[in-house]
Structure formats: C-alpha cells, structure tokens
C-alpha cells in the first residue's frame, strides 16, 4: 500500500498555486489515486499530496470525503448509463442476456466503478441513481410487455444483478489469490458424481463460458415460470 509520505515524496511533484486546480482535475486525480490504493485508503490529505496542492484547495470544492466519493459515483454512473439501456430489437430474453453480459464486462474492467456503483450501491445518491432510472424503466417495460407484472420484472432483474455481482466479486477474489477462473475445482475420487459433473461444469463459475451458460439458464427459468403462469391463467 502506498503511504502518504511516499505520495508526497514522488519525484517531479511541486505544489500548485492556490486556485490553480479545478473540480474536474481533483476528481480525475481522486479517481487515479483510488484505483491505485482503493477507496477505503483514499483521504483528503493523500489526495492533496497526490495532486501537489494544499488540502484546503480540495475542501473548496468537496466539503469531505463523502462528498468526493459521491461525485466519483456520479461520474461512474454517467459512464455506465449506456450499458443498461436494453436493445430495441430481439426478444426480452436476448435483451437481458446482452445487458447483463455488458454490465459484467464493464464491472470486471473497472474495479473502482464497480465498487462505487454496485458494491456500495446502497449508498449511491440520487444524482448517481438518476442515470440508472431510464434504463431500468425501459428494461421493465420490455418484460411487462412480454407478460410479467412490474413486481415480477423487477424481481427478475434484481436476481440477475445479484448474480452478476457475486460472479465479479468471486473473480476478483480469485484474481487476488492468483487462481485462474477456468481451473477445475479438485474433488477426491471418493465422489464420482461430483467428479463426473465437473468435467462439464466448473463450480468456480466465473469463466466467460460458465457465466454465459448460467445467465442463459436463469433467464430460461424466468421464461418457463412466465409460460406456466400464462397457461394456468389464460
């Protein structure tokens, strides 16, 4: 972990003059630093040292760390907004599959945005959530048009969202441990059924192939439940 002293001692850093930095530059610096040391380690003094400014220059724009993180969250939500808008063409099943495949890829590619939007989602403010409402509404509309109630549609989207988050968290843990996602889980020979099943299914579940298959299976289950309800109540 990079210490405050190490940040301050980095070569080529000179303190900027008061008023010579903008809120956008502070946010860009905060994003870069948080990607390096993590959100929990991010602090106003560390950010000031990283940017080569006095800490009061940051407080001019952001009254505390929570306000800074809120601004970072809005920035991340803005970048994720296009990813959650469902495709106008194709079936609702394909739309869900494509949307959550895109979201997983984006979450895997940007740990910071993933933390801000999905791992800390309960603390996302209204300004950040406003970027998600149009896409969420459009996704619900596609499913309601297929026959789901709004509550059923939201429940299904929530299930897929939680599944995606779990996959991304597991993959991150494995990455930190140096374990490849496609490495089979070792099973003793005493368990032949498990051994046979693992020839076709990786229980780690985070490889691209496994994610796609499991995502399809969840969505197919939703379609079966919908068909069963339609048949029972024509």
Region 25-30: what's the mean pLDDT? 96
Task: State the pLDDT at residue 118.
Answer: 81
Distance from C-alpha of 8 to C-alpha of 22, rounded to nearest angstrom: 20
The matching CATH number, chosen from 3.40.50.1000, 3.30.2130.10, 1.10.357.10, 3.40.1110.10, for 81-232 is: 1.10.357.10
Query: Which tokens in the block code for residue 157?
Result: 């989207």
pTM value is 0.80
Region 154-183: what's the mean pLDDT? 87
Long-range contacts of 17-24 (CB under 8 A, 24+ apart): 18/54, 18/56, 18/57, 19/57, 20/53, 21/51, 21/53, 21/57, 23/61, 23/62, 23/71
Of 2-6, 32-36, 119-123, which gets the smallest average pLDDT? 2-6
Mean pLDDT of the chain, nearest integer:
86
pLDDT of residue 222 exceeding 50, the answer is yes
Position 62 confidence tier, pLDDT thresholds 50, 70, 90:
very high
pLDDT of residue 117 exceeding 90, the answer is no
> Terminal CA-to-CA distance of the chain, rounded, Å?
61
Task: State the pLDDT at residue 121.
Answer: 57
Sorted by where each begins, the domain ranges of the chain are 4-63, 81-232
Task: State the pLDDT at residue 20.
Answer: 75
Position 8 confidence tier, pLDDT thresholds 50, 70, 90:
very low
Of 5-14, 49-58, 153-162, 171-180, which gets the smallest average pLDDT? 5-14
Region 188-216: what's the mean pLDDT? 81
Radius of gyration of the chain (CA): 22
Contact 93, 99 (CB under 8 A): no
The answer for 39, left when phi > 0, alpha when psi is -120 to 50, beta otherwise, is alpha
Task: State the pLDDT at residue 9.
Answer: 46
Task: State the pLDDT at residue 189.
Answer: 83
Residues sharing a CB contact under 8 Å with residue 108, sequence separation 6 or more, in sequence order: 114, 168, 171
Distance from C-alpha of 71 to C-alpha of 68, rounded to nearest angstrom: 5
Which backbone phi and psi does 189 adopt, to 5 degrees?
A: -65, -15
What digits encode the pLDDT tens for the residues 15-27? 445 457 999 999 9
**pLDDT > 70: what percent of the chain?**
87
Task: State the pLDDT at residue 3.
Answer: 52
Residue length of the chain: 234
């Amino acid at each position: 972990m990079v210490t405050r002293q190490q940040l301050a001692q980095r070569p080529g850093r000179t303190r900027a003059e008061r008023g010579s930095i903008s809120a956008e530059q502070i946010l860009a610096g905060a994003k870069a630093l948080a990607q390096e040391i993590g959100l929990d380690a991010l602090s106003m003094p560390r950010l000031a040292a990283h940017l080569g400014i006095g800490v009061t220059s940051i407080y001019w724009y952001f009254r505390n760390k929570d306000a800074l993180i809120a601004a970072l969250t809005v920035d991340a939500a803005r970048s994720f907004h296009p990813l959650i808008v469902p495709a106008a063409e194709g079936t609702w099943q394909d739309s869900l599959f494509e949307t959550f495949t895109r979201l997983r890829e984006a979450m895997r590619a940007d740990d910071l945005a993933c933390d801000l939007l999905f791992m800390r989602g309960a603390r996302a403010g209204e300004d950040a959530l406003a970027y998600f409402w149009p896409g969420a509404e459009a996704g619900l509309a596609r499913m309601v048009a297929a026959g789901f109630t709004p509550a059923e549609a939201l429940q299904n989207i929530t299930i897929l969202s939680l599944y995606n988050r779990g996959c991304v968290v597991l993959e991150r843990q494995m990455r930190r441990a140096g374990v490849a996602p496609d490495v089979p889980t070792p099973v003793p020979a005493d368990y032949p059924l498990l051994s046979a099943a693992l020839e076709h299914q990786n229980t780690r579940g985070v490889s691209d192939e496994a994610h796609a298959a499991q995502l399809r299976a969840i969505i197919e289950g939703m379609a079966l439940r919908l068909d069963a309800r339609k048949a029972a109540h024509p």
